[in-house]
Amino acid sequence: YDGCHWVVRPFLTCERQAIREFVSSRSHGWFDDPSNENTRYERVRVRQSLPDAPVQIDKEAAAKRQALSEKTAIFLSEHLEVFHAVLARFPDSAIRCDLPEFRHGLATIIATLGGRAYLPAANSMARVLRFLKTGEYGRTTIGRVLLDRRRDGLYLFREHRNLPELCVEAGDEAFWDDRFLVKNGSAFPVHVMAAGGVDAAAALFPSVPVGVAKQAMAILPQISAPAAGSISVESAVTIMPRLAPFDLFLPRFDLELADAVANLFGRPAYPQPPV
């Protein structure tokens, strides 16, 4: 959780009544969380709608989910390129809509580039996959991300609309566009906005088409410090890519995938679980 804490749930497979009976047999009491009976929460309504008979649980579901994440991590590491944490490219040979690891990897990268904590909805992904299956060149959008299918592959980058401006006070930190964490270690407030200028695009993205490079340049964060005058604050300001699907809550079964994405985006690996 939040890159700092591992939450371990050793009693997840235990029935609530069995836990209560065990505690009672030791002459101890317990506290019930009142939210467990509050029907304002979807989890409570779902639980109350279940039949009294024990629900059949797919005991292999967790293993299947982890296997998918591990295959996806390998697939992304072998096939995906990421440029300056704002532009991604799948080569044409990697666009395999029949592969679960491609579909899952595509959804993961869309969420990451778009600054979204959750993967795109199934119906939205189905629309994107239909577009990709045609093999035609063109564009489509999903989750704030533009997909640009070209002769040399599939490019993905944040849409240009609604790019914010942000002021980060001295010694403070904040998220810009939900995609980057800006830490201001200077003595002056700094402004963060979309780069806008495209003159340096070809130099910064030399291996991609010029049109794509210009669009990627325009969604990079740019720092200015109007209060600092002629004093440069760039060395005191750090900008780190945010991996929205993983940074706040990272399930164990996604750890290998999260590490693969972190490596592609120039981030350190996540902490390993203690057990």
* C-alpha 30: how far from chain center: 37
More confident site: 218 or 198: 218
| 248 confidence band (pLDDT: 50, 70, 90) | very high
pLDDT value for 125: 98
pLDDT value for 230: 45
Q: Are strands 190-194 and 221-224 parallel, antiparallel or unpaired?
A: antiparallel
| Cα 130 from Cα 253, distance rounded (Å) | 28
pLDDT value for 172: 96
pLDDT value for 184: 93
pLDDT value for 275: 84
- Among positive and negative, which fits the CA dihedral 62, 65, 69, 74? positive
More confident site: 176 or 9: 176
Nearest alpha carbon to residue 205 among 196, 195, 193, 214 = 214
The model carries a pTM of: 0.87
* Mean pLDDT for all residues in the chain: 92
| 226 confidence band (pLDDT: 50, 70, 90) | low
* Predicted confidence (pLDDT) per residue in 113-168, tens digit: 999 999 999 999 999 999 999 999 999 999 999 999 999 999 999 999 999 999 99
Q: Which helix H or strand E contains 258, and what residues bound it? A: helix 255-264
Strand partners, 153: 150
pLDDT value for 54: 67
Q: Which helix H or strand E contains 65, and what residues bound it? A: helix 61-79
pLDDT value for 51: 78
| Cα 124 from Cα 107, distance rounded (Å) | 10
pLDDT value for 114: 98
pLDDT value for 236: 87
Q: Can you tell me the mean pLDDT for 187-195?
A: 89
- Among positive and negative, which fits the CA dihedral 129, 131, 137, 138? negative
More confident site: 13 or 268: 268
DSSP 236-254: GEEEEE--HHHHS---GGG
pLDDT of residue 227 exceeding 60: no
* Predicted confidence (pLDDT) per residue in 47-98, tens digit: 888 877 666 777 788 899 999 999 999 999 999 999 999 999 999 999 999 9
